[in-house]
A = this chain, B = another copy of it.
Amino acid sequence: MTVTASASPAIETHAGTHRFPAGKALRLDSGATLEPLEIAYETYGRLNEARTNAILVCHALTGDQHAASIHPVTGKPGWWSRVIGPGLPLDPERYFIISTNVVGGCMGSTGPASQDARTGEPYGLTFPVITIADMVRAQALLVEALGIETLLAVVGGSMGGMQVLQWAADYPEKLFSAVCIAAAARHSAQNIAFHEVGRQAIMADPEWRAGAYMKARVRPEKGLAVARMAAHITYLSEQALQRKFGRELQRDGLSWGFDADFQVESYLRHQGTSFVDRFDANSYLYITRALDYFDLAAQHGGVLANAFAKARGVRFCVLSFSSDWLYSTAESRDIVRALNAAGCRASFVEIETDKGHDAFFLDEPQLDATLRGFFAATAHARGLA
């Protein structure tokens, strides 16, 4: 997704990778276990003595732990530098902010590009299929390893929001509050369809080599770029694309060929080619699969409210963007309705914007104001100064 953010001023940052001891292998929904398990993470700020100011930030499909630090590959500010920083809604001077790379990812957490201890080779397609619940289970292990019993908040957008919902379902006793932004409680047929196009694009690339490309020292760059291009269209609203690019040309006049004539073509090509520098194609397959498998109601007898039955003590905030057609406001309303039915305390804000799904990365004052207000109220309720 698009990252446009200004660099944050210096904040107390710790970057590390937690390697769990053998007894802490990750049990997966598929029945497999992952061992050894490593989770790459960053923290911003300091855990208070009472250990009550920790906030877990969950990333989206192609995000990573570099939420508020310079990305080591792109050199750009982290994906949520607009929100995390001194004076910003998630202020490291007040909160201890934890950001992890999801299991299955490619920025240090155990994923398909990791070495399989049994073979000494990268997993590739022998990596087990993972779920959103598996990602959350790994995060819960890390939070426990950091000595934190209760999170002041768990927060995330898009796939990050799905992790938030899963946290509320699986570990409600460890949460004081939960903020779910631009997400859905399940992947729709259209969501699955777009992901399947991306996966087929990757698997159609002969350099993919049935997932064993690392061994051959090649990468399915063209296929991954096409996958990214297709997905990227869904991150922007039709209006935002029209406003940003319209039918503006790259040069004076048409090329009468297949060069990028239109600025929107050039933009999309750039999104594709720059993505392959920072992302692993197999991780893309596994994480999109985890999203497609996500259906929180199905995990709870087909009734979404049941997922939140034990979360009555959690303060929820649900946000959506009016022009988001990937995970629409209607899907956020379904979540709110289920929270209400379960007797949970939930506030809901639909933010009017034409920026589409990616609005949660972008300059969106109402988002900032909502987060700022919610976290301030939450901190107050938790007795933080």
What copy number does this chain have within its complex? Answer: 2
**Is A257 interfacial (CB-CB < 8 Å)?**
yes
Q: Does B258 lie within 8 Å of A289, measured CB to CB? A: yes
Q: How far is the CB of A270 from chain B (nearest CB, A)?
A: 12
Q: Does A204 lie within 8 Å of B205, measured CB to CB? A: yes
Please report the C-alpha to C-alpha distance between residue A247 and residue B204 in the assembled complex, in whole angstroms: 24
Per-residue contact bits, chain A 241-259, to B (CB 8 Å; 1 contact, 0 not): 1101111000000101110
- Interface majority SS (helix, strand, loop, mixed), chain A: helix
Q: Does B223 lie within 8 Å of A204, measured CB to CB? A: yes
Q: Decide yes or no: A265 and B196 within 8 Å by CB, A206-B206, A241-B188, A246-B189 being known contacts.
A: yes
Please report the C-alpha to C-alpha distance between residue A285 and residue B256 in the assembled complex, in whole angstroms: 12
Closest B-chain residue to A221, C-beta based?
A: B204
| Count of A interface residues, CB-CB < 8 Å | 54
Interface-lining segment among A42-50, A65-73, A224-232: A224-232
Q: Which residues of B contact A229 (CB under 8 A)?
A: 193, 196-197, 200
**Is A292 interfacial (CB-CB < 8 Å)?**
yes
Closest B-chain residue to A288, C-beta based?
A: B258
Q: Which residues of B contact A260 (CB under 8 A)?
A: 196
Q: Which residues of B contact A245 (CB under 8 A)?
A: 189
Q: Which residues of B contact A285 (CB under 8 A)?
A: 258
**Is A190 interfacial (CB-CB < 8 Å)?**
yes
**Is A281 interfacial (CB-CB < 8 Å)?**
no
A residues near B, CB below 8 A?
A: 30, 125, 128-129, 186-190, 192-194, 196-197, 199-201, 203-206, 222-223, 225-226, 229-230, 233, 238, 241-242, 244-247, 254, 256-258, 260-262, 264-265, 268-269, 272, 285, 289, 292-293, 295, 298, 325
Closest 10 CB pairs of A and B: A204-B222, A189-B241, A189-B245, A129-B256, A189-B264, A196-B265, A30-B256, A190-B238, A197-B229, A201-B226
Q: Does B238 lie within 8 Å of A226, measured CB to CB? A: no
Q: Does B226 lie within 8 Å of A268, measured CB to CB? A: no
Q: Which residues of B contact A199 (CB under 8 A)?
A: 258
Q: Decide yes or no: A242 and B196 within 8 Å by CB, A206-B206, A226-B204, A254-B293 being known contacts.
A: no
Closest B-chain residue to A129, C-beta based?
A: B256
Q: How far is the CB of A256 from chain B (nearest CB, A)?
A: 4
Q: Does B192 lie within 8 Å of A262, measured CB to CB? A: yes
